[in-house]
């Protein structure tokens, strides 16, 4: 197709970001009604939480696809291409289809005179596309919060709540109880919810919401369990237990103990679908887990030196990442390439990373929302860590490449915008760090 038409459609879509983030369902609901409420016509697994939503969505989708179903997957944000957000059986929406749908929704927005945000528009696009393509089931990731998120208009008999921590506090507040309430508000009437909420006081909030909506709630570590099994360095082996059901030696290509938790949630949700008319067998569960891929989460992209990408950007995810790197990677020194958004808990993130990194290479991402690298340099001085600010991601990567030896670890982390920019650099120059040693997380 004509790429300029696609670019034109994307430019319109991105122009909507100027209207910012507005939590609320009214405008999206009106637009979806105009199209006959496509989001109500397909069974859905709806995934909320703070960390691990995208990975859990990817694992769930992989199992359902392995079971022979046509699966819509809607996630955000994307790394390199907007179309990553809207996929069927992990195939991105075609450019021409995206252009046609953007024009169709834009026309409705203008005729109905509905003010709409970038995320709301994208959510309507996804629901319309999945309905037109006649998906069997959709896996939908919450954008922000839950209660007032545009995705909460879906028909989800099954909900998943991944781990909860503070993030997007300017919208959701600092109060973990309130944050849990917002996330738990994706639980639907008479639905089923699987939750990774270890803190009792927070779980009780989710349980209360489930009771109010006559929904069944199952809790990781209580109603179902995951536990590690001895595995090799590049494989995450674990077992799953739920009631009398036991699955041993499950293989997950995603690194990190928290990914086992996410897989436990996905397995539980998929098994629950058997009671709702779908046919998901043990072989599908195993194959789906084995085939899952999700970029930018403890993703090893090069060896000698080892280069790891991770989108950790809040305290909880940064703490998880540093723990995993210490436990599962052998290295002499650790060099951290870092870019952060201003709205994050920058001081706390720097404090955690300073305990891992020997030297920092700091970059600006997504100005003006990104934190100035010079400010990060000042913050690192209080932790006695050598650091340097760079104007571009490419310059920072070139500098760390000159500094690192083969037995060092390079960790590229912080904002997803940094991970995307790093990936683009690697794609533009195939042998950026070394030749013949490129690794991919899905191998």
Position 291 pLDDT exceeds 70:
yes
pLDDT at position 233: 57
pLDDT bin (cut points 50, 70, 90) of residue 342 is confident
Question: pLDDT (tens digit, 9 = 90+) per residue, 317-326?
Answer: 999 999 999 9
Taking residues 290-307, report their average pLDDT.
93
Indicate the class that CATH gives domain 3-291.
alpha beta
Q: What is the pLDDT of residues 182-214, one digit of tens each?
A: 999 999 999 999 999 999 999 999 999 999 999
- Report pLDDT digits (tens) over 104-136: 999 999 999 999 999 999 999 999 999 999 999
Asked if the model's pLDDT at residue 441 lies above 60, the reply is no
| Cα-only R_g, the chain | 21
Percentage of residues in the chain having pLDDT higher than 90: 81
Q: Which of 318-332, 351-365, 380-394, 420-434 has the lowest mean pLDDT?
A: 420-434
d(C-alpha 204, C-alpha 164), whole Å? 13
Residue of 275, 262, 287, 236 whose CA lies nearest to 67 = 287
pTM: 0.92
435 band by pLDDT with thresholds 50, 70 and 90: very low
Residue 442 banded pLDDT, cuts 50, 70, 90:
very low
Residue 62 to residue 87: CA distance in whole angstroms: 12
More confident residue, 369 or 203: 203
Every domain of the chain with CATH number 3.40.1190.10 lies at 3-291
CATH 3.90.190.20 boundaries in the chain: 299-428
pLDDT at 1: 64
Residue 426 has pLDDT above 80, yes or no: yes
Torsion angle in degrees (nearest 10) through CA of 278, 282, 287, 288:
40
Q: Which pLDDT belongs to residue 440?
A: 35
Please tell me which residue, 4 or 69, carries the higher pLDDT value. 69
Beta strands in 294-397 (DSSP E): 299-302, 306-310, 334-339, 359-363, 387-390
Q: Is the pLDDT of residue 265 over 90?
A: yes
| Per-residue pLDDT at 432 exceeds 90 | no
Helix axes 53-66, 257-272, angle to 10 degrees: 50
Per-residue CA distances from 331 to 193, 210, 310, 407 (Å):
41, 46, 17, 5
* pLDDT confidence band for 169 (50 / 70 / 90): low
pLDDT value of residue 23: 73
Q: What is the pLDDT of residue 168?
A: 53
Q: How high is the pLDDT of residue 60? A: 98
Superfamily for the 299-428 domain: Mur ligase, C-terminal domain (3.90.190.20)
Report the alpha-carbon distance of residue 161 to residue 192 in Å, rounded: 11
For all residues of the chain together, what is the average pLDDT? 91
pLDDT digits (tens, 9 = 90+) for 17-45: 887 777 789 999 999 999 999 999 999 99
Checking DSSP bridges between strand 137-141 and strand 44-48, what pairing results, if any? parallel
pLDDT beyond 60 at 438: no
């Amino acid at each position: 197709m004509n790429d300029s038409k696609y670019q034109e459609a994307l430019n319109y879509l991105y122009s909507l970001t100027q209207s910012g983030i507005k939590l609320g369902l009214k405008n999206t609901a009106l637009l979806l009604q105009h199209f006959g409420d496509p989001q109500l016509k397909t069974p859905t697994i709806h995934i909320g939480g703070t960390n691990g939503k995208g990975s859990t969505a990817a694992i769930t989708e992989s199992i359902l696809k392995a079971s022979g179903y046509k699966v819509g997957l809607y996630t955000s944000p994307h790394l390199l291409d907007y179309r990553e957000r809207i996929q069927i059986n992990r195939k991105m929406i075609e450019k021409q289809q995206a252009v046609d749908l953007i024009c169709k929704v834009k026309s409705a927005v203008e005729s109905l005179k509905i003010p709409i945000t970038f995320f709301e528009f994208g959510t309507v696009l996804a629901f319309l596309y999945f309905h037109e393509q006649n998906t069997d089931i959709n896996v939908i990731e919450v954008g922000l919060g839950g209660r007032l998120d545009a995705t909460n208009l879906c028909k989800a008999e099954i909900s998943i709540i991944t781990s909860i921590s503070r993030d997007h506090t300017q919208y959701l507040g600092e109060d973990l109880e309130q944050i849990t309430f917002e996330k738990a508000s994706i639980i639907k009437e008479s639905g089923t919810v699987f939750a990774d909420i270890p803190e009792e006081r927070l779980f009780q909030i989710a349980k209360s919401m489930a009771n109010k909506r006559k929904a069944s709630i199952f809790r990781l570590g209580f109603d179902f369990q995951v536990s590690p099994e001895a595995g090799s360095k590049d494989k995450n082996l674990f077992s799953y237990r739920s009631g009398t059901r036991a699955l041993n030696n499950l293989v997950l290509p995603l690194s990190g103990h928290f990914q086992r938790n996410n897989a436990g949630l996905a397995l539980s949700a998929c098994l629950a679908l058997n009671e709702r008319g779908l046919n998901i067998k043990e072989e599908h569960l195993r194959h789906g887990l084995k085939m899952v891929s999700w970029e930018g989460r403890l993703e090893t992209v090069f060896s000698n030196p080892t280069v790891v990408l991770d989108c950790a950007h809040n305290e909880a995810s940064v703490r998880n990442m540093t723990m995993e790197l210490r436990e599962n990677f052998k290295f002499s020194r650790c060099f951290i390439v870092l870019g952060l958004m201003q709205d994050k808990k920058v001081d706390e993130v720097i404090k955690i990373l300073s305990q891992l990194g020997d030297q920092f290479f700091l970059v600006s991402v997504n100005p003006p929302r990104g934190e100035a690298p010079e400010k990060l340099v000042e913050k690192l001085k209080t932790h006695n860590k050598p650091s340097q600010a760079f104007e571009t991601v490419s310059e920072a990567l070139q500098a760390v490449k000159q500094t690192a030896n083969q037995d060092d670890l390079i960790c590229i982390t912080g904002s997803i915008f940094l991970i995307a920019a790093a990936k683009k650099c690697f794609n533009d120059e195939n042998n950026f760090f070394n030749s013949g040693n490129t690794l991919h997380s899905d191998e």
